[in-house]
Amino acid sequence: MSESKIKKQVAEKKAVAEITTEIVAEKPTSVTSLDEIRAQLAGQIISIPGFKPDTEINVKIRPVDLTTYILKTNITNPLLAIAVQKVKDGKTPEEIEKDLREKLAKGDVDFSAMMPAIDAVVEEALVEPTFQQISEIAPLTLFQKMAIMDAAVGDVTGLISFRK
């Protein structure tokens, strides 16, 4: 074996050892306490669009897991088919997001199949005031529901790279 190959193998082994050391060093050293978990689930106060233009309503929500709703309702996302076609057409992620926002703003998307699941998630997420308390006054608008969903479900963009 040539000296250059040996040096290359040694360099590769050192790189692997460094990466392994970094991975081991990043491991947690203690278990999260039940009180800390409860605190995370206690909820947070967010602002959602109000019922009048340029107004906001502050509500307390808690995190919601979508798994149950996806499995129970067998819903499809009407935006997904549009986004898939845009990808096939060679659009960039920024162009796709812009196009989808325009379609939403124009009301060109049929959310009727998703509404029962959206309502269920929003109802579970709202802590104070509750979904029922607000509904006694007026039904929440789609924009209000989507703001609550976005905050309660969290950032799902990580799922995109996970599924690749």
How does pLDDT run along the chain (164 residues), one tens digit per residue? 566 667 676 677 676 666 666 655 567 778 888 988 888 888 889 999 998 989 999 999 988 877 766 666 555 566 666 666 667 777 777 777 777 777 767 766 666 667 777 788 899 899 999 999 999 999 998 889 888 888 887 654 444 333 34
Of the candidates 116, 135, 115, 127, the residue with the CA atom closest to the CA atom of residue 151: 127
Distance between CA atoms of residues 35 and 44, nearest Å: 16
pLDDT of residue 21: 62
Question: CB 51: neighbour CB atoms within 10 A?
Answer: 12
Contact 84, 90 (CB under 8 A): no
* Predicted TM-score (pTM) above 0.85: no
pLDDT of residue 2: 65
Ordered DSSP codes for 61-129: E----SHHHHHHH----HHHHHHHHHHHTT--HHHHHHHHHHHHHHT-S--TTTHHHHHHHHHHHEEES
| Structure tokens that stand for 152 in this block | 């309660």
Question: CB 145: neighbour CB atoms within 10 A?
Answer: 22
pLDDT of residue 60: 93
Contact 113, 80 (CB under 8 A): no
| Structure tokens that stand for 29 in this block | 């050293």
pLDDT of residue 111: 64
Which run of H or E residues covers position 133?
helix 131-137
pLDDT of residue 161: 38
Amino acid at 142: L
